[in-house]
Amino acid sequence: MNWQFNEFRISTDKQLLNPAYIHDYLCNRSYWAGGIPLEVVKNSIEGSLCFGIFEGETQIGFARVITDMATFGWLADVFVDEAYRGRGLSKWLMEVIMSHPGLAGLRRMMLGTRDAHSLYEKYGFTPLTNPERFMQIHWPDVYKKA
């Protein structure tokens, strides 16, 4: 699927994605995936519904939803390149994601964020109602070399 906004395009076509660019951003510029190996990024793309943002042929942003396309989705790795921020692209990306027909009717959609709560609240995300019902396994140093 493709969406157009001025000179920008969002596509779910994984063939258009630039894994090296995504890896560089996640590994070196994100707070959540520092040190992530390229092969892990490639595997995460293969196992997700992906949304690439492009200006022409150049990728400038990304998001993915890990989902069964029926009941649950986890929104992850959302970013817009710093040089393109302030143009409404993150809001447009969220509108596209939230209107994607494959995600319609999900019972639950979740995400984690340190600093973008106000963006996600505009699209219906709220703090966990019953956080005591949720559990996790978290290995923050999994990508660090021993």
Name the domain count of the chain: 1
Q: In which residue are the tokens 């395009």 written?
A: 9
Residue 99 neighbours by CB distance under 10 Å: 11
Model pLDDT for residues 81-115, shown as the tens digit of each residue: 999 999 999 999 999 999 999 999 999 999 999 99
Q: Which domain holds residue 8?
A: 2-133
Residue 74 lies in a domain: yes
- Does residue 145 belong to any structural domain of this protein? no
The DSSP element (H or E) to which 39 belongs, if any, is helix 38-46
Name the H helices within 9-142: 19-29, 38-46, 89-99, 117-121
Q: What is the pLDDT of residue 142?
A: 87
41: in domain: yes
Phi/psi at 93 (5° precision) = -60, -45
72 belongs to a structural domain: yes
Q: Is residue 85 assigned to a domain?
A: yes
pLDDT digits (tens, 9 = 90+) for 8-35: 999 999 999 999 999 999 999 999 999 9
Evaluate whether residue 143 is within a structural domain: no
CATH of the domain at 36: 3.40.630.30
Classify residue 89: in a domain, yes or no. Answer: yes
The residue among 53, 58, 57 whose CA lies nearest residue 3 is 53
Identity at 60, one-letter amino acid code: I
